[in-house]
Amino acid sequence: MNKPILWLASASPQRASLLAQIGIVPDKICSADIDESPYENELPRQYAARMALTKARYIHQSHNKEKKAQLFILAADTVIATGRTILPKAQTRETAETCLTHLSARSHRVYGGICLLAGGREMVKIIITRVQMKRLAQNEITAYLASDEWQDKAGGYAIQGRAGRFVRAIHGSYSNIVGLPLYETAMLLQGAGYNIDERAHNSDK
């Protein structure tokens, strides 16, 4: 009987670390080289779902040359939005500052798109977490920008770092904000036939 194989379609160290937290170590970690630009007028929910599905399909098409049986490909994407406005992943200090200024004293939503390809099926789920930010003083924003934690982060912040002190309230999954909703991911894997407890036990040996 073929052993189930799990590939993580994300180079994000946060996602690998979150999976390890619940005893899952992917057999392979792949980075999906895709265009992550939102479509014109694309809604945050639709964008998160499309990105997760596109990443999973890319890895399946470009890496699964041997058509491995019992292969599970897990992909995820994190989108931060206020209303219909999708905030970018901060690549520059200026973008991060714009995002933080926009989020100051606002409530925003984190859309976590997860996709699992397994047994010829494409399973996509969207998890939404609502986050309330405190009003940020300019000196707080400046100090956070100096930490460089904002780099390549959706919305210009990482809640698991120094920005955690900016968050007044969270309604929903905390791990979704970090990069992967663990409960929903575990349920998706188990529902598709991936035995998490067995794999975690074997990895501990």
Which active-site residues does the annotation give? 77
Place of tokens 């945050």: 44
| Residue 163 DSSP symbol | G
| C-alpha span between 203 and 199 (Å, rounded) | 6
| Residue 194 DSSP symbol | -
And the tokens for 119?
């047994």
Place of tokens 């995002």: 99
Q: By C-alpha distance, which of 175, 174, 173, 105 is closest to 140?
A: 105
And the tokens for 97?
């500052």
Q: By C-alpha distance, which of 150, 174, 171 is closest to 161?
A: 150
